[in-house]
Amino acid sequence: MLKRELGDTASYDDIEDYRPPEIQNPSFLAFATLLKYPVYLTAMLYEHDYVRKFIANKKVDVIFSDNRFAFYSREVPSFFMGHQLRILNPLGSRILENGSEVYNKYFLNRYAGVIVPDFEEDGLSGRLAHDLSVLDESRLNYVGVLSEFEYWPSTQEDIDLFVSISGPEPQRSSFERLVRRQLEGFEGHIVVSLGKPDASSNGESIFKPYLRREEREELLNRAKIVVARSGYSTLMDLFALRKKGFLIPTPGQLEQEYLAEHHMQRKTFYCVEEKDLDLPAQIESALAFKAPPVRSSPDRSVDNVLDVITQTGCCSRRA
């Protein structure tokens, strides 16, 4: 996907991802993830060794880690970006949450700066990056929301429903099947992005295997409402585009479930659990929610990020 978007303007390398466990029963996803911690730790040790070898062979001015805890160097200014500074647990235990902050603090202290893509006041991430018990929020740089999309104020909203299918397998495919069933007989102009970069079009008019950034930006701006998972990047995109959202968290993903509940309570976005999804019956309730309010733009957030990097942790923390 990155190569499609950036072409030869950048060089690329592959590092093993922190892959979530592929499990059919989402109720056990959190515990299965915990059991895979030795695998994740091994991946972190590998990535840290990768950085050490990389900077030994090439001149590097800055290291920027997008939520990879061991992607840093003591020899090169390293910056971490992430919004999940408190890790939730299925038991709702504050002791475990505080323990996750201690764990995060151990790694984050190795970075020259920590960047939080959120507002310092009235943020999108809720308890994930605010009201922290162990981490010192005064050392965090809240830069505002980040999005690759730009709001087009004069665009006519002629797409009744834009649906974005995303996430790890097997949940992604099960969500696609559910959406396909519920869209049968659905009236109006509908576009469904399947989020499959390697797939080719099979001639279905409303189902798009993959949309380039420019195509997605246009269609999102034309949409009256967006149906998607409640991942944090999606929330930031909806805020940046000032779009109404109908959000369905991935079952078993505590972060998405928390964000969905948090924003449903705040009436920012309409959210339901996947097992309760009934698009035809619920869409009017979702449309009754107001679009997110206008706050600072992603361009301002990018300026704040660059300010953190170029001044080694100094920026306007109130985005």
Inter-CA distances, 196 with 5, 43, 94, 116, 171, Å: 14, 25, 38, 28, 14
- 31 exposure class (CB count in 10 Å sphere: 0-12, 13-18, 19+): middle
User: Is the per-residue pLDDT at 317 higher than 70?
Assistant: no
Any idea where the domains of the chain sit in the sequence? 10-145+297-310, 161-287
Which of 123, 281, 51 is CA-nearest to residue 132? Answer: 123
Dump pLDDT digits (tens) for 192-215. Answer: 999 887 766 655 678 998 888 899
Per-residue pLDDT of 256-301, as tens digits, reads 999 999 999 999 999 999 999 999 999 999 999 999 988 888 999 9
pLDDT for the residue 313: 43
* 85 has a pLDDT exceeding 70: yes
User: In terms of Cα–Cα distance, which of 42, 21, 135, 41 is closest to 87?
Assistant: 135
pLDDT at 119: 95
20 band by pLDDT with thresholds 50, 70 and 90: low
Domain 161-287 has CATH 3.40.50.2000: yes
**From CA 25, how far away is CA 39, in angstroms rounded?**
21
Where does the chain have alpha helices with state H? 2-6, 29-35, 37-57, 94-108, 171-183, 213-222, 232-241, 254-265, 279-287, 298-310
Who contacts 87 (Cβ-Cβ below 8 Å, separation ≥6)? Answer: 97, 100, 103, 104
Cα–Cα dist 205/159, whole Å: 14
Whether 134 shows a pLDDT value over 50: the answer reads yes
- Segment 171-200 shows an average pLDDT of 88
Match 């990047």 to its residue by tokens: 233
Query: How confident is the prediction for the chain on average, in pLDDT?
Result: 88
* Proportion of the chain above pLDDT 90, given as a percent: 62
pLDDT at 64: 94
Q: Whole-prediction pTM value?
A: 0.86
Check whether 47 has a pLDDT greater than 70: yes
Q: How far apart are the first and last CA of the chain?
A: 30
How far apart are alpha carbons 186 and 318 in whole angstroms? 43
CA dihedral 39, 41, 46, 51 (to 10 degrees): 140
Could you read off the pLDDT of 215-234 as tens digits, one per residue?
A: 999 999 999 999 999 999 99
